[in-house]
Amino acid sequence: MLRSLLSRSATAAATSAPRQAAAAARPAVAALASRRFNTTAVTASPTPAATTATPALTAESVANSKAAPYLMHLAQSAGPYYALLEIKGRPYHVTKGDMLQVQHLKVPLGAKLVLDKVREIGSASVSLRGAPYVAENLARVEAVVIEHSFSEKRVTVKTKRRKGYKRTHGHRQHLTSLRITEVSVQPLA
């Protein structure tokens, strides 16, 4: 009887170690989820890795780094430039004159937008990638709101065989059309 109790406690201790490690990792997962969905998470004891944020690429950090010659070359190339930017969490590859359909933005028609979440900007010969974004004073992407529209209707059908049950449901996603008016690189001062 005593041996069985001891073996049970040893087995329980051996199986509880992975559970404790998993419980210690949960605050990090909550912090990562909060960064992804732009929410705030309250954790009892945040880990140092979960609280460390990647800094944006700034003009001062570029001027003092290996990227300065590339930025000067990029600014002197005079385009045409392309940009990889993020709008509402989705990436878009754009050049000047492109038209985009993005998820609905609550802005009036004809409004001019400055899209500041630029992940990468470049020309045919050289590109500059941010960490995670290029600084606003280095890259500039402007757009104009053309229209607010809906996507094509997507129909969902639910049926149950042999019961005479059939339900259809349609959905049209709200969209905003943007025209990219400017993709430019600001030279270092």
Split at pLDDT 50, 70, 90, the class of 38 is very low
| H or E, element range at 60 | helix 59-63
Angle at 57 between CA 121 and CA 38, to 5 degrees: 95
From CA 128, how far away is CA 83, in angstroms rounded?
Answer: 10
Percentage of the chain modeled with pLDDT above 90: 43
What is the pLDDT at residue 46? 38
The owner of tokens 């600014």 is 75
DSSP reduced 3-state for 37: coil
What is the pLDDT at residue 97? 94
Higher pLDDT, 133 or 56: 133
From CA 100, how far away is CA 121, in angstroms rounded?
Answer: 17
CB contact at 8 A, 102 and 92:
yes
From CA 50, how far away is CA 39, in angstroms rounded?
Answer: 14
pLDDT tens for residues 97-106? 999 999 999 9
Average the pLDDT over each of 41-45, 55-59, 63-67 and give the range with the smallest value.
Answer: 41-45
CB contact at 8 A, 31 and 51:
yes
The average pLDDT across 38-42 equals: 35
Split at pLDDT 50, 70, 90, the class of 89 is very high
What is the pLDDT at residue 144? 97
The CA–CA distances, whole Å, from 6 to 3, 9, 12 equal 5, 5, 10
Average the pLDDT over each of 42-46, 117-121, 131-135, 178-182 and give the range with the smallest value.
Answer: 42-46
The structure's pTM equals: 0.62
What is the pLDDT at residue 136? 83
